[in-house]
Amino acid sequence: MTREEYCAKIEEATKEFSFEGELVDYKLYGSGHINDTFLVRYKQDDGNIKNYILQRMNHEIFTKPWEVMENILGVTSFLREKIIKNSGDAARETMNVIKTKNGDSYYKDSIGSYWRAYDFIEGAKTYDMVETPDDFYQSAVAFGHFQSMLSDYNAESLHETIKDFHNTPDRYQKFIKAVEEDVCDRAKFVQEEIKFIMDREKDTHILMDLLANKEIPLRVTHNDTKLNNIMIDDETHKAICVIDLDTVMPGFSVNDFGDSIRFGANTGAEDETDLSKISLDLNLFELYTKGFLEGCNGSLTAKELEMLPVGAKMMTLECGMRFLTDYLQGDTYFRIHRENHNLDRTRTQLKLVKDMEDKWDSMCEIVKKYQ
């Protein structure tokens, strides 16, 4: 598609949504890699400019965009009601879907692309990197608060937008299949990594077994709990809103906690080649635990609290499995930028798992401290 054709589709989409005013211009916005995001500006009758977010959804990853939008509309409407009830600012504390002129939550254009729109949250921004420890703490409070606000939402009513996304036993079986098939003849180079994961096969069942035994509940989970999915207020520098709700679906609260730890409390980069730089920063682990549980405000069960360290380990092990599976299959899922990139990613995750195991007692004590 040429630039002119692409611009025509953007403008086609803008005409379908209930935007107020006259279109002034639009530009690419943000640093996301999944959807195409645009800031669109509209001139109001009084001369002021009102901003909106317009997104072209990636329907190759999210193959049923209508289910994604049904989830998002349900969750944001629920949050909006609670925020208003609590005398909060519903325009800034949750995402607000702009419907089409036909009353739909998305628009399918003439070439089959799916579009959606949101009110723009003024006076706030996202951060791709942790600039201060307080950034990490603020994200913890926000994701914990997200759990608390949705603790009485029926998680089973949500669509599973990516099937078996955090079904760790299923991820393990896919890993084993990749090892057995060895389509790229790479297994011989990674026997140590394969053994590391296989030695922890029993661990992969822990959370799913607890769910089956009704020892932990299924909850509304975000499933992408990184710092850049939190809006931070420009003046107060406090977290105000959780965004990027494409992966909101039924899951485990401990996995949302765990994925933040995996990503944010690691002392090195996710693809670091010097494994001596990889470890769990217990100070950051404690900071996030404190903030997350403050945000949760007593909404987690005793068993969920007990399982928080397990969530951190399982999300890290699962991610390592996924990277190694992709390496064995020829790097077909995760984008790589150098030879053995997925193998480097695998090794950082497995090193982090081992460091968590070495610091397990300390992790558990920190969780108990803030219960």
Domain boundaries, the chain: 3-122, 133-369
CA 123 → CA 69, 126, 234, 235, 238, distances in Å?
A: 26, 11, 6, 8, 12
Spatial contact of 19 and 98, defined as CB atoms under 8 Å apart: yes
Q: What is the pLDDT of residue 9?
A: 86
Percent of the chain residues topping a pLDDT of 90: 86
Start-end of H helices in 119-277: 133-149, 168-181, 191-198, 206-212, 253-264
Can you spell out the DSSP letters for 2-61?
-HHHHHHHHHHHHTTB---SEEEEEEE-S--SSSEEEEEEEE-TTS-EEEEEEEEE-TTT
Q: pLDDT digit string (tens) for 133-190?
A: 899 999 999 999 999 999 999 999 999 998 888 899 999 999 999 999 999 999 999 9
| Tokens at 364, concatenated | 């558990």
| Tokens at 294, concatenated | 């403050």
Q: pTM of the full predicted structure?
A: 0.92
Spatial contact of 226 and 260, defined as CB atoms under 8 Å apart: yes
Question: What pairs with residue 239 in β-bridges?
Answer: 232
CA 271 → CA 187, 268, 337, distances in Å?
A: 20, 8, 10
**pLDDT band of 128, cuts 50, 70, 90:** confident
- Residue 110 predicted with pLDDT over 70: yes
Q: How many other C-beta atoms are found inside a 10 Å radius of the C-beta of residue 358?
A: 11
What is the Cα–Cα distance from 135 to 131, expressed in whole angstroms?
Answer: 7
Same fold, 3-122 and 133-369: no
Q: pLDDT digit string (tens) for 273-332?
A: 999 999 999 999 999 999 999 999 999 999 999 999 999 999 999 999 999 999 999 999
CATH number assigned to the domain covering 133-369? 3.90.1200.10
Architecture of domain 3-122: 2-Layer Sandwich (3.30)
* Strands 114-119 vs 107-108: parallel, antiparallel or unpaired: antiparallel
Question: What pairs with residue 25 in β-bridges?
Answer: 41
